Structure 1
């Protein structure tokens, strides 16, 4: 049986040797920071339009306006990190070296999660401080209530979305199919259902909606639940996808 640290080292080598995955992580940083900075400038210059009357201005959420684009990049990273090995046929070599399929996939998910969290953490902190600098007198700080939690929540959300995508790809064994499922799910199905009164309650328990609750500093009236429940729901989706990936790999040929 291969030692787990050796599996982690192997997975890290495979991950960093594929340029497309590294470019995707860089893109997640750039688009999250760029759009967040742009919205922060607009909010500072047109504050009355960004601050609803009678509601507190969420300076943290404003700086994280680019999270939606960063989410796309993290989904793609999760898909590529798993799918490249299937598309190239290298998964057979990996299974020959590590016959314990669950252990192999656990090592892969651990490396993907660690890298995603490290990049997400740098991204959200740089984005937060840049956004607050651009908001001028309307800014907030990490010392304000719930702000630090929201910043770490943003990093956790991006990481879990990435791992969820990796788990779905492991179940489907095909990166093109995985993207064909995940992109419409997150960016078409979820928003559409969320806008339909009779079924929007269902969309409230999708991983993207639940994860975005983790970014809230102020819980507005009408929201079904807060950041803590959002974390648990998003975590449940993530663990289900990762577990499904392990079960599929153990029960069928690569």
Structure 2
């Protein structure tokens, strides 16, 4: 089967599954809703901040406050894209139609990643626009230094989270096992490692901690990682590449 046919097949499978629309819609709604709520609170309480806190106020990053929860929906999307065929047994049929496992996985990841990146960009620009509207006089403009990079980087971050989840799901094959590891890792473990003094140097190299750097415009006190915004995103890309390579190796070496 030609690569173009495999891509069309994967797109057909992706858009015919209800979980695709539900998870991506949830990522969009949750990110915008929580970002809007935090922006309203921040605008109302700005006068209560200290002089130092007002100087380091980052309206751009604040509008992405909901992304920490919204990314969990992207994780579910990435996991289900790959592992649902294993749980349903359809993987045998898919591999019978596309015996070249590398082509099969690459096509699946390429189609799902393109969709995740589009949704990520819409979510990031939407969260920024809504958040800045609600911040009133404290808002940032897209043309301000570093802001466009941060908003564009936010979209990339959402897409990369989904891609990383696809790689892990390809390694583990089980949706329950994949989600049972990824959800606590991003929601709890990473935050703990990144905020405890003894483990902060390790935590700042985790995929989400490093990727977050691209969305920050104003440096925060005590937060000086040994990489810049794009350097942090590059670290995240390395994590994603490692997960996808691992998934490809497992798919090649194990029976369906």
TM-score under structure 1 length normalisation: 0.96
| Counterparts of 2:203 and 2:18, CA distance in 1 | 35
Runs of 4+ more than 6 Å apart = none
Contact in 2 for aligned 1:15/1:21 (Cα 8 Å): yes
SS at structure 1 position matched to 2:163: helix
Shift of 1:49: 4.2
Task: After TM superposition, list the pairs within 5 Å mapping 1:54-203 onto structure 2.
Answer: 55-203=55-203
Contact in 1 for aligned 2:59/2:140 (Cα 8 Å): yes
Contact in 2 for aligned 1:43/1:50 (Cα 8 Å): no
Match of 1:16 in 2: 15
SS at structure 2 position matched to 1:46: helix
Post-superposition Cα deviations, 1:82-129, rounded to whole Å, max 9, x if no partner, equal 111111111111100000000100000001110000111111111111
Shift of 1:52: 5.8
Aligned pairs, number: 253
Contact in 1 for aligned 2:56/2:220 (Cα 8 Å): no
Match of 1:232 in 2: 234
| Counterparts of 1:7 and 1:49, CA distance in 2 | 57
Q: Decide whether aligned partners of structure 1 residues 75 and 186 sit closer, same or farther in structure 2, where only a CA change above 3 A counts.
A: same
Match of 2:255 in 1: 253
Q: Decide whether aligned partners of structure 1 residues 173 and 52 sit closer, same or farther in structure 2, where only a CA change above 3 A counts.
A: farther
| Counterparts of 2:50 and 2:25, CA distance in 1 | 32
Contact in 2 for aligned 1:27/1:73 (Cα 8 Å): yes
Shift of 1:214: 1.1
| Counterparts of 1:51 and 1:61, CA distance in 2 | 19
Q: Decide whether aligned partners of structure 1 residues 112 and 50 sit closer, same or farther in structure 2, where only a CA change above 3 A counts.
A: farther
Please state if 1:223 is matched with 2:224: yes
Shift of 1:226: 2.0
Alpha-carbon RMSD: 1.3
Shift of 1:184: 1.4
Per mean C-alpha deviation after superposition, the further-off stretch among 24-33 and 180-189 is: 180-189
Shift of 1:196: 2.8
TM-score under structure 2 length normalisation: 0.95
> Unaligned regions of 5+ residues in structure 1, if any?
none
Shift of 1:56: 3.1
> Unaligned regions of 5+ residues in structure 2, if any?
none
